[in-house]
Chains A and B, each alone.
Chain A
């Protein structure tokens, strides 16, 4: 099984991706993560203005089969959440790096410490043993 892992993004070991856009970062879950979870039918998102440290649980994502925590890949304040996902979660499965984005945070600069695409693919391959 191969997954889409865009080269211009950074990745957390907990399977979130980060895209730097100006002084903000956009956060979502990876193609590997959406495939492993299956059909996503529910998301619980934080409020705009909430702040998290890297590794904090910031939300929950639920498929028919399982519920899974979402972890902040970097520290910072939430500046926007994708409220469209509250009514229709399908974009997380169909377009995880685009319309399936989850939230935006103020950039803390920590994203450079995250995995690059090659390192994330290696991490995924190890998880699949």
Chain B
């Protein structure tokens, strides 16, 4: 039985095409992926991301616990700020990528929908030696993302949105807010390469907030957006997706996420292995590539050297909507990972030439 978010009825009423994603019945598109993608790049889009996991970590050792199980230096995340981090295995492979929000007296950790159970178990297993309380708010809270260049103006224009003035909420900032009379949290975070916000509030209020935001933004071009556009929007700025660019057998240095690993912050799970991997240098690397010959790369397609030797695989590929050409991300040996190096993507049995290009494909337009 697939799980449903508190907005399932709204998605169906909007005529969304529903698909299975990580055990959830989720909207993949409402109108068209291209239209929804374009709305986020030019105006704004609204996403139901309640399927993601939301854990609260509190107690005297909350910071020490998060330092122990994640790779980023949590001490550097001030109250009212948030940051990207990773959970790694002792061997250095990535369990999940997560977002840590530092709230007054506690931390909110957002994890991938497909990894909720795995991560919750991992948190509990490693909490024993710490004075921490873990609470799973995944079902009791809903989570929406409103993303795009007019997201800030839209929220500021709503009479009953009180988060002071969102103009002053910095990149990755998080604050208490009152939205359409409902108390919640608002953060300047997202997964689209655009400025935008993520909203957290009690699940029972999800339909009210969803419908009020859509009404508020309708005439300005705000569109409900599904997982299809969420994927194409994160792909262009080359934001990793668990199960594709990152996985349990991929380490952060290969995935070009070395900046999230703070080896000097003190001990943490995976540190020794990650130190060794960093010193030795990874053997393969995530690269972005364009097609020299006609063809569309897709996740899972093999990559061969121009001599026909299997050397890697595509992690994500598609016709990139904003860039109007087929692009791909994939793993290849370091020797083939430099800009302009060429290899073949095997598309339905046919070798199609591709060339490594600089990433990201699309420069994110965050508010700094």
- A residues with CB within 8 A of B: 38-39, 41-42, 44, 60, 62-67, 69
- Pick from B33, B231, B232, B296: contact of A62, CB below 8 A: B296
* Residue among B33, B37, B296 with most chain A CB within 10 A: B296
A64 touches B326 (CB 8 A): no
For residue B318, CB closer than 8 A to chain A, the reply is yes
Q: How far is the CA of A41 from the CA of B228 in the complex (A)?
A: 14
Which residues of chain A have C-beta atoms less than 8 A from B298's C-beta? 66-67
Instruction: Tell me the nearest residue of chain A to B231, going by C-beta.
Output: A65
Which residues of chain A have C-beta atoms less than 8 A from B231's C-beta? 65
0/1 interface trace, chain B 228-269, chain A, CB 8 Å (1 if under) = 100110000000000000000000000000000000000000
A39 touches B348 (CB 8 A): no
A39 touches B34 (CB 8 A): yes
B33 touches A39 (CB 8 A): yes
Apart from A41-B34, A42-B319, A69-B348, what are 18 other A-B pairs with CB-CB below 8 Å? A38-B29, A38-B228, A39-B33, A39-B35, A41-B319, A44-B294, A44-B295, A60-B348, A62-B296, A62-B319, A63-B33, A64-B34, A64-B37, A64-B228, A64-B318, A64-B319, A65-B228, A65-B318
Which residues of chain A have C-beta atoms less than 8 A from B318's C-beta? 64-65
0/1 interface trace, chain B 304-330, chain A, CB 8 Å (1 if under) = 000000000000001101000010000
| 10 A-B pairs whose Cβ atoms sit less than 8 Å apart in the complex | A38-B29, A39-B33, A39-B34, A41-B34, A63-B33, A64-B33, A64-B37, A65-B28, A65-B33, A66-B298
B28 touches A64 (CB 8 A): no
Instruction: Tell me the nearest residue of chain A to B317, going by C-beta.
Output: A67
Q: How far is the CA of A98 from the CA of B23 in the complex (A)?
A: 39
Which residues of chain B have C-beta atoms less than 8 A from A64's C-beta? 33-34, 37, 228, 232, 318-319, 321
Q: How far is the CA of A65 from the CA of B21 in the complex (A)?
A: 14
> Would you give the shortest CB distance from B234 to chain A, in whole angstroms?
13
Main secondary structure of the interface of B (DSSP, over half): mixed
Instruction: Tell me the nearest residue of chain B to A62, going by C-beta.
Output: B296
Which residues of chain B have C-beta atoms less than 8 A from A39's C-beta? 32-35
Which residues of chain B have C-beta atoms less than 8 A from A44's C-beta? 294-295
Which residues of chain A have C-beta atoms less than 8 A from B232's C-beta? 64
Instruction: Tell me the nearest residue of chain B to A57, going by C-beta.
Output: B348
Which residues of chain B have C-beta atoms less than 8 A from A69's C-beta? 348
A-B pairs with the 6 shortest C-beta distances?
A39-B34, A41-B319, A64-B33, A62-B296, A39-B32, A65-B228
> Would you give the shortest CB distance from B66 to chain A, in whole angstroms?
36
> Would you give the shortest CB distance from A44 to chain B, in whole angstroms?
7
> Would you give the shortest CB distance from B30 to chain A, in whole angstroms?
11
> Would you give the shortest CB distance from B20 to chain A, in whole angstroms?
14
> Would you give the shortest CB distance from B204 to chain A, in whole angstroms?
30
Instruction: Tell me the nearest residue of chain B to A38, going by C-beta.
Output: B33
Which residues of chain B have C-beta atoms less than 8 A from A38's C-beta? 29, 32-33, 228
> Would you give the shortest CB distance from A7 to chain B, in whole angstroms?
26
* Residue among B35, B228, B294, B326 with most chain A CB within 10 A: B228
